[in-house]
Amino acid sequence: MHLSDPYTIPYKGIYAVADRKNELVEIMEHSNCYGGSAWALYHYSKSPLVVKSRAIGDMMRYLVRTGSTSLNLQSSTAAAGIESVIVNGSEIEITYSGLGGGGVGATTCRAYANGVLRCRLSESGGGKRASGTIIVPRRERVLIGIDNTDSKEVGATWTLAHNIAAASDSLEHKYISHTLVQLYPVPDKTQNCVATVLEFACVEGSAGELLESIKEGLLEYSVSGETGMVALSDFDVASLMDYSKLCRSRMITKELTLKTAEENGVDICIGGKGIIGALAALPWFSRNDESVML
């Protein structure tokens, strides 16, 4: 057996999206070892900058306030945390700190992740307190709602959406999450009446290329003449939740959908009847356990 670095498990990737005012950042860490990441999630959640934390599959997600804080690290109970999150133009600087194994996670495990531009690290391991700073691109959240790509004979929207998203994934526009959203079972549904929302984290200027790629894939592979695709670049889409709940409780018109999309700055990329459900899917991104229930 040969282990090139027996005491490092690099994260698959670390990505960060910021709101328009650079007051909030969501850090998304794609884990290579869920056990270690679950330990970090528990301890990092206690950091003063962390507003909310959760695990979605093997993706650890931290909603944080920007700024700096002083961590009072304590063995076993509060052994690691996020010390600072600073937005500098097109980059975001994140500093982690930890004791012992938590220090290894704060330094080398994160520094060698996909998506990291540069890093500054202290020595880590053993009984040391260690800290590490990584610099990642500032990204924007891009949400894509899709519905009505199948027919009663063939297809499933959620599978096509995922496969197109995976094929469109790149370091500039990272595919973050895929969420199925149950809609009101209208009479002309194919079967289960479920829409899909895709979440990407895009560096500045890359969203247009992403949307063209997704649209091209849908136009090529959809078997429905009523496919709907909508897109929105925003940190938070809570303003669409009332519309979504309406769509999940009764039949609504395409006219209402078009009016709501215009009022909320949502782009209609493919304008079939499926835009009704596609728009309703947007506010449920990464809320997979809730979105599947009416």
Residue 24: C-alpha distances to residues 20, 87, 255 (Å): 9, 10, 34
The pLDDT of residue 187: 53
**92 and 168 co-located in one domain:** no
Average pLDDT over residues 141-153: 88
**Separation of alpha carbons 236 and 135, rounded Å:** 23
Give Cα 89 to chain centroid, integer Å: 21
Q: Classify residue 240: in a domain, yes or no.
A: yes
Is the pLDDT at 279 greater than 80? The verdict is yes
> pLDDT for 52-62, tens place per residue?
999 999 999 99
CA angle 14, 16, 22 (to 5 degrees): 160
Average pLDDT over residues 232-256: 93
**163 and 216 co-located in one domain:** yes
81 CB contacts (<8 Å, ≥6 apart)?
Answer: 43, 44, 46, 47, 50, 71, 73, 96, 97, 98
Alpha helices of 177-236 — where are they, by DSSP H? 207-221
**155 and 275 co-located in one domain:** yes
More confident residue, 168 or 102: 168
**128 and 91 co-located in one domain:** yes
Candidates 276, 272, 236; CA nearest to 259 is 276
**203 and 265 co-located in one domain:** yes
The pLDDT of residue 76: 75
The pLDDT of residue 192: 55
Exposure on the CB side of residue 66, measured as CA atoms within 13 A: 17
Average pLDDT over residues 48-69: 96
Candidates 186, 190, 185, 188; CA nearest to 152 is 190
**115 and 170 co-located in one domain:** no
**115 and 166 co-located in one domain:** no
Is the pLDDT at 126 greater than 80? The verdict is no
Q: Kindly state the percentage of the chain with pLDDT values over 70.
A: 95
**270 and 152 co-located in one domain:** yes
SS3 call for 112? coil
Number of domains in the chain: 2
**162 and 276 co-located in one domain:** yes
The pLDDT of residue 125: 64
Average pLDDT over residues 153-158: 80
The pLDDT of residue 202: 98
Look up the domain containing 107 and give its range: 13-138
The pLDDT of residue 103: 76
Q: Classify residue 256: in a domain, yes or no.
A: yes
Domain boundary among 138, 164, 184: 138
**199 and 266 co-located in one domain:** yes
Q: Classify residue 143: in a domain, yes or no.
A: no
> pLDDT for 181-233, tens place per residue?
998 775 554 455 789 999 999 999 999 999 999 999 999 999 888 899 999 99
CATH of the domain at 205: 3.30.70.2200
The pLDDT of residue 70: 87
Is the pLDDT at 105 greater than 80? The verdict is no
Instruction: pLDDT band for 99, please (50, 70, 90 cuts).
Output: confident
> pLDDT for 70-95, tens place per residue?
888 888 777 889 999 999 999 999 99
Domain boundary among 138, 159, 193: 138
Is the pLDDT at 244 greater than 90? The verdict is yes
**22 and 134 co-located in one domain:** yes
**Separation of alpha carbons 237 and 284, rounded Å:** 9
Q: Which two tokens stand for residue 169?
A: 């994934």
**217 and 132 co-located in one domain:** no
The pLDDT of residue 152: 67
Average pLDDT over residues 156-168: 95
